[in-house]
Structure 1
Amino acid sequence: MHAGFRFSADPADLDHALVHRWLSTDAYWALGRTREKQEAAIAGSRNYGVYDETTGAQVAYARIVTDAATFAWLCDVYVDPSVRGKGVGVGLIEGVFADLEPLGLRRSLLATADAHGLYEKFGFEPLAEPERWMVRWHDVHDRGIGGAASTPAEADAGLADPSLADPAATP
């Protein structure tokens, strides 16, 4: 970890309210996520944070969903805008994968719209055979967006198509 910051895999260190605020208001994939949904995600995951050594404030977050034997999904990676460009994201991902290394996982996946360069530093690459992978989308209304998305990509990005919303809910 870079000078002035510390990595932690201790769930007791997490600032749950801050993580929820970051993700539900500033992360394109989680806009509108409820606090209850975020708490459930935290409870079902391995959680990681980076903290300012001087103030103790949390400055980054990531979580892993895994069976702890063969597979891991890296998600909800967020670095506070005030520390972006200072190596915090790199330190966070280094710490996450150092923590996972002893598990001997076969595969780790993630989805990103804008951080390919960061993840390539850790061996991530586009799917070699994307036609072998499938996704099942569940109800997107629980995201607190207020309308159905036109496509799964729009749903994941938090975009709603008002024309698909429930007409009874339209003012």
Structure 2
Amino acid sequence: MPASELMISSSNSDLDLEMVYAFLSQETDWAKGMPRETFERAVAGSLCFGGYLDGKQIAFARLVTDKATVAYLCDVFVLPEYRGNGHASGLMKHIFASPSLAGLRRIMLVTTDAHHLYAPHGFKSLTNPERYMELHRPDVYKRA
């Protein structure tokens, strides 16, 4: 199916939270084992986008943002059986055209293998990586 058939919504009431939680907590390296309560707080505190084909959610992206200056793009996925059809690119185009994100000074993300997806939307490697710091707790969900 062409990406143009993807319907995108930023309404949390449209999200298939069961599917999104199951995929993130069971199928991703970055959120495996995430407690449900943590997931629900993350969704409630973020700007979320769902991608739908014929009413079924097949894609998701979440931005942690103040909607004024900065955002962190995370939890982006397209269900495996729908990949390779341009849906991720369509989702990104919609997100970055969103009026609530148009004036942001900085949008950040972390990816291990999807640089090809984000580069066409203006993302590039850090110009000054020495300025960035992180407190990374990869096992935090195992302790919860």
Structure 2 alignment gaps of length 5 or more: none
Question: 2:8 touches 2:94 (CA, 8 Å); kept in 1?
Answer: yes
CA RMSD of aligned residues (A): 1.9
2-structure distance, mates of 1:72, 1:48: 14
Q: What is the rounded CA distance, in whole Å, between the counterparts of 1:66 and 1:144 in structure 2? A: 26
Structure 1 unaligned regions, length at least 5:
147-171
**Which letter does structure 2 place at the counterpart of 1:92?**
L
Residue identity opposite 1:135 in structure 2:
E
Name which of 141, 144, 148 aligns with 2:142: 144
Aligned to 2:13: 12
Q: How many residues align?
A: 143
Whether 2:56 is the aligned partner of 1:57: answer: yes
After TM superposition, the score normalised by the length of structure 2 is 0.92
TM-score normalised by length of structure 1: 0.78
Higher strand share: 2
Q: Quick one: distance in 2 between partners of 1:45 and 1:78?
A: 16
Task: State the structure with more CA Rg.
Answer: 1
Task: Report the alpha carbon displacement of residue 32 of structure 1 after superposing the two structures with TM.
Answer: 0.7
Deviation at 1:81, TM superposition (A): 0.3
Alignment pair present for 1:105 and 2:94: no
What is the deviation of 1:103?
4.4
Contact 1:71–1:108 (CA under 8 A) maintained in structure 2: yes
In 2, Cα distance between the equivalents of 1:28 and 1:48? 20
2 CA distance for matches of 1:52 and 1:129?
Answer: 40
Cα distance in 2 for partners of 1:130, 1:102 equals: 24
Does the aligned pair in 2 maintain the 1:2–1:88 contact within 8 Å? yes
Within 5 Å, give how 1:130-141 maps onto structure 2: 130-137=129-136, 140-141=139-140
Query: Are the equivalent residues in 2 in contact too, given 1:31–1:145 (CA < 8 A)?
Result: no
Partner of 2:35: 34
1:67 maps to which residue?
Answer: 66
State the 1:136 CA deviation: 1.9
Alpha-carbon distance, 1:138 to partner: 5.0
Alpha-carbon contact 1:27-1:78 (below 8 Å) kept: no
Question: What does the per-residue CA deviation read over 1:65-92, in whole Å, with 9 as the maximum and x for residues that have no partner?
Answer: 0111110100000110010001110011
